[in-house]
Structure 1
């Protein structure tokens, strides 16, 4: 084994730490410098510069220590402990103003650094900054109340070391099963890792133990909104508002829940009340903009988004929200502002990603396709690296669906579910025209449009459970569809109908347009055998590239890499072919290009499939007034247009990796 492989370096780093602890500073410095010549890994270089700086400061070589810590900060200026160390070095060099700036940066990056808060209290006291002394002391008191294990968990969370934080937190909770703060921390880690069902259970359990715990209920509320569980969210926020009736964040959360429940007028009124009370918070204007866009008041939405970026010039979400109207055109000054902000080294990653996508849309609208693709590519690369998505896992999930959802399974268990015709599922890939199909069907007097509902995905997640060992082992679901109690299928079907009732109005049929449900058509067939499923399909290049240039709110991590999105499309085709083989006639495929070419024929096809009489309103879908919560909301409020079907061709020179995966010459 190579002597400089990571395990060997890790052990050497530990031995250097021991040298520092035993005051052998020269040995620690020499070994660190020697090791620096043996590794090119940026993370190891950062750790070694940190150890060198600490050893040099303890050895009272303060100027050398400052040089070393500055070398580290060139590599990673957001390293919280390096900023803290820089503060201690500046103190030793009798530079209190610089020290204060370093400590303030450190606690901004990682608010759990006790030593930085302690140092800041002394520095604020010297400058007689009473307000700052009080804030620092309050924060320090909160940290000191935490058990040492949870303080370590907090620090690891801020440093992004989530798996290590989860391990320590779980161990702590094994010995302190009713510790609500610990449960909240583990839930926060779960939310970051997208293990939402665990987080939801933890927070519900924490609230059973301590119903008055504001932080736990606030976390629970935000998670419910993220999961689209707006009815429960609305109940939770009322409890919070009883405890804190003037809390504007809770009022905003209530308005978000109302938006989700389709109570859009009430939501807009509440957003506007909050903005009237405090018009200096960019996020409040952004949320108001989203609600106005959902209602179709696009000019007012644009004004709200513009107000948000005027308050915060680096607010990526405001610029992306403008781009995401699909109809907004950026001015020269707005483009210049977005580009200038992208170069800000302190800009948060999320803002940077949003600004790249918005800039891409701005240049595409100006037909500057080279600049547009560069911007889209930069945004996608950052988002792809951040998401940690692995296409192999999706391909494995699809292989498991094909393996276990057999013709025999449906012959044996296919009549156990709930026999109601209510739901129409529109599935496929995002940006394949599903919003258009929903708008067409929801224009019928017998059909309610809703939104992308999370219920089927949530059920699949519960059936899957959490893998206990290697991440590549087979999950319990869908294998367990052949094994679970037969009575469960009708119960699951009834649960789906009950949980989605809140999104419906009076029509007998309703639409769930969550595209990812194509993965779970077998499950849908077992719990709701009379449901109708429409596969919204779009030609490969147009569909995949449209996904690549879209920054999704959540849940479409495959779309941020051209090869991944191509493989995902191929896997989707493979699974849809399987469903057509084992469930013939259960799914109707509707090609977007056919809808564009001959709208009325495709409208009649869909209405025949779902068992409805033809209504002209479905052809005149753009006249239908309803709330729409997807990026295509403005496009489906207009008549059919053909220009979008070939937009990808402007970018063809850059799409080689995608064409290769899709086997397109």
Structure 2
């Protein structure tokens, strides 16, 4: 054994230390240096896969996880679970994801995380009964709530089979799990409260539902900094300052097929519905909520938006090609033959200035709805408090809505002919009359299948995946009226932002 091989323990400790410090790029380099010397260190391959996944390098991550399996890593079911997550969450390869989860379960039939992820995948693919079977299997493994996957399964099962009445045993079990004194992760307990709130909402008990949603919000956000309105206003000003004028069309502007089509607006404003409607058109492929632009901002464009001033035509062309390549990787099935491919990430409304720099000819679809309904829907949803700090309170939601509208007003002043408003409330009342102008805006012919969107067999990876499996319905419009006595802080903050609210 030569001297460098003697250093293997130190190399491994060094690489592991870099990973713990979140120095991902350095950790990748260190693990690769180690594995060149000793390629059979299974745990090093596993950690390399983890670091690559965090960096968004998904194919190399899959390879590294595969090497961990090949070299006999213990608890191989965990490796299959990680590979499944990459296939499902990042690469839209749902068949491969399911195969990995079933491989994990073949090794460990009672491995609850794999059962839970398989249930989630079945939900995203519209397979209700298969999802229910997975969640029931978890509850059979752990018949009494005792921790993680079982309680997540209970929360999901209550969504798929809502309690029939206030005496339903499932409702009682959900209440006990949400309010138990057992030590639980804040996010998991919040999930239980949100599930309980939706159950009460379905049963026509708005007061009980609101109490549950409020408990879920407080639990989810209690360990995170509160929403800072002054900082939000500063961020809005910074974006407006960074993109004060329309983007020009450089001679080397990317003109690739399919064209990226951006659907954005407030969360819970109908963006998933619109993407499904368009996915039923033969000229549109749905790529879902993509992390391509946010990853770009966290890497090449730090600090954003100030970095936008230094982008020359060559850098813009490179970033546009990078984005489009990532878009093509994430298209399901034969999507590459379509005219448009949708990027349906609601908070991309923050990035319209950047989008128009990268793709000067890009069209933007802006979804919106009644601000009281929109605010209530955000309050009823468990959004990541690290990203959506405003969603923790009704007042924060209303203030954020004001900043969103301020920014959209700016973008529309720059690109009045390239941003089309999609009114969710108008669509559910008059779908064809609302959709025809939108298709004309895109230069697409009318297609009757667009109004049969609920029959699509595609995967939907947002919180709205069951809503868009139903024919068009309108009960979400005006829902705020049932909760009006609790929504004072939302109304007040909307009014302060100059937004009219219905009586």
Instruction: State the TM-score, normalized to the length of structure 2.
Output: 0.86
2:69 counterpart of 1:241: yes
Hey, what's the Cα distance between the residues in 2 that align with 1:367 and 1:227?
A: 45
- Asked whether the equivalents of residues 440 and 603 of structure 1 are also in contact (C-alpha less than 8 Å), the reply is no
- Aligned pair in 2 of structure 1 residues 375, 215: CA closer, same or farther (>3 Å)? farther
Following the alignment from structure 1 to structure 2, what is the Cα–Cα distance between the partners of residues 218 and 390?
37
Distance 1:623 1:370, change over 3 A: same
Query: Equivalents in 2 of 1:552, 1:318: separation in Å?
Result: 18
Question: What's the CA shift for 1:283?
Answer: 1.4
Contact 1:451 1:628 in 2 (8 A): yes
Partner residue, 2:117: 287
* SS of equivalent residue, structure 2 residue 347: helix
What's the offset of the Cα at 1:629?
A: 1.2
In the alignment, the residues of structure 2 paired with residue 464 and residue 323 of structure 1 have an alpha-carbon distance, to the nearest angstrom, of 42
From 324, 348, 352, give the equivalent of 2:189. Answer: 352
**Structure 2 partner of 1:512:** 343
Report the secondary structure of 1:386's partner residue. coil
What is the correspondence of 1:538-617 to structure 2 with a 5 Å cutoff?
538-552=369-383, 555-617=387-449
Q: Quote the residue 2:79 is aligned against.
A: 250
Q: Is this contact kept in 2: 1:622–1:639, CA < 8 A?
A: yes
TM-superposed deviation, 1:281: 2.6
Summarize the alignment of residues 611-626 of structure 1 with structure 2, pairs less than 5 Å apart.
611-626=443-458
Residue 570 to residue 643, structure 1, CA distance change in 2 (3 Å): same
Distance 1:478 1:177 in 2: 38
**2:6 alignment partner in structure 1:** none
| Pick aligned residue for 1:483 from 310, 313, 317 | 310
Which residue does 1:661 correspond to in 2?
Answer: 493
Kindly state the Cα deviation for residue 225 of structure 1 after the two structures are TM-superposed: 5.5
Alignment of 1:173-322 (within 5 A): 179-187=14-22, 199-211=23-35, 214-215=42-43, 217-219=45-47, 221-222=49-50, 230-244=58-72, 247-260=76-89, 261-312=91-142, 313=145, 314-315=147-148, 316-322=151-157
- Does 2:175 align with 1:339? yes
Indicate how the Cα distance of structure 1 residues 344 and 215 shifts in structure 2: closer, same or farther if over 3 A, else same.
Answer: farther
Question: 8 Å contact 1:542–1:647 — kept in the other structure?
Answer: yes
Greater Cα offset, 273-282 or 537-546: 273-282
- Residue 535 of structure 1 aligns to a residue whose secondary structure is strand
Partner of 1:442: 279
1:6-35, Cα deviation, whole Å (9 max, x unpaired): xxxxxxxxxxxxxxxxxxxxxxxxxxxxxx
Which string of whole-angstrom CA distances, capped at 9 and with x for unpartnered residues, describes residues 117-174 of structure 1? xxxxxxxxxxxxxxxxxxxxxxxxxxxxx99xxxxxxxxxxxxxxxxxxxxxxxxxxx
Counterpart contact for 2:261–2:364, Cα < 8 Å: yes
Residue correspondence of structure 1 range 376-395 to structure 2 within 5 A: 376-392=213-229, 393-395=231-233
Task: Report what 2:269 is aligned to.
Answer: 432
Aligned partner of residue 465 in structure 2, secondary structure: coil
1:435 deviates by 0.7
Task: Report the counterpart of residue 291 of structure 2 in structure 1.
Answer: 454
Q: For 1:428-473, what per-residue CA distance to the aligned partner results, in whole angstroms no more than 9, with x for missing partners?
A: 12211111100011111111111210001111222553xxxxxxxx
Query: Which structure: larger Rg?
Result: 1
Q: Paired residue for 1:369, among 186, 200, 206?
A: 206
**CA shift for structure 1 position 338:** 2.5
Between the aligned partners of 1:177 and 1:416, the Cα distance in structure 2 is 46
Identify the residue that residue 26 of structure 1 maps to in structure 2: none
Are 2:360 and 1:536 equivalent residues in the alignment? Answer: no
5+ residue gaps, structure 2, are 1-8, 496-500
Which structure 1 residue ranges, 5 or more long, are not aligned? 1-145, 148-175, 188-198, 466-475
Query: Which structure ranks higher in relative contact order (CA pairs < 8 Å, sequence separation ≥ 6)?
Result: 2
Question: Which structure shows the higher helix fraction?
Answer: 1
RMSD: 2.7
Cα distance change on mapping 1:477 and 1:263 into 2, 3 Å: closer
Structure 1: distance between partners of 2:54 and 2:421: 30
Q: Is the 8 A contact 1:225 1:256 kept in 2?
A: no
Q: Determine if contact 2:16/2:27 at 8 Å carries over to the other structure.
A: no
Partner Cα separation in structure 2 for residue 500 and residue 479 of structure 1: 25
Shift of 1:381: 0.8
Q: Distance in 2 between matches of 1:177 and 1:293?
A: 40
How far 1:335 moved relative to its partner?
Answer: 2.3
Pair 1:279–1:558, CA change in 2 (3 A): farther
Structure 1 residues 238-277: Cα deviation after superposition (integer angstroms, max 9, x where no partner):
2222223670111122222222333323332432343243
